[in-house]
Amino acid sequence: ICLCPEGYELGSDPTECGDADECSSGNGGCSQNCTNTVGSYECSCGDGYELYTENGQGGYSIASGETGDVAGDVLHLNHSCIPITCGIPPVIENGEALISSSITKFSYGDPVVYLCNEGYNVDDSSNATQTVYCEASGNWSQPANCSSTTCPSLEDVIANLSTPLVNKPEFQ
């Protein structure tokens, strides 16, 4: 009987060992992507995620009673993917991020709504709010500026009326 080293298996010829495709069964235990290599395999993660390689990474901890080394653990080292985290959303002038003080971690895809102060709108729009997202890079999508709201002049309003103003009669 021939025994093969880890990552190899007996082929059609029972005296020769060939590469085992670990990814063909259960995705190799990888939570997202599995790439077979000669004699081994590698797990990888899609955009916005990173491979969990050490306890505490990204604020994630191995569950009590688990080691992280066994398939079936909630977080399996070098197999599980965790979302990329972003820092605290940036502060903007003339507005604020509407977030609870109890939220301390933001992950890929998380939204944060900004509200402009009274008398301000997002850039050149009539909106007082804007939503930004934690991006795959670990950065926030760019928040807009809260600009001072300006009203058009009376002359501009009159010039853009679809029907002309009619003079009111004067009473004597």
Q: According to the model, what pLDDT value does residue 80 have?
A: 97
Q: Compute the distance between CA of residue 130 and CA of residue 147 in angstroms, rounded to an integer.
A: 13
Can you say whether the dihedral through the CA atoms of 116, 122, 124, 126 is positive or negative? negative
Task: For the full predicted model, state whether its pTM sits above 0.75.
Answer: no
- The pLDDT of residue 168 is above 70: no
What are the two backbone dihedrals, phi and then psi, of residue 95, each rounded to the nearest 5 degrees? Answer: -170, 175
* pLDDT-based confidence at residue 172 (cuts at 50, 70, 90): low
Q: What percent of the chain has pLDDT over 70?
A: 92
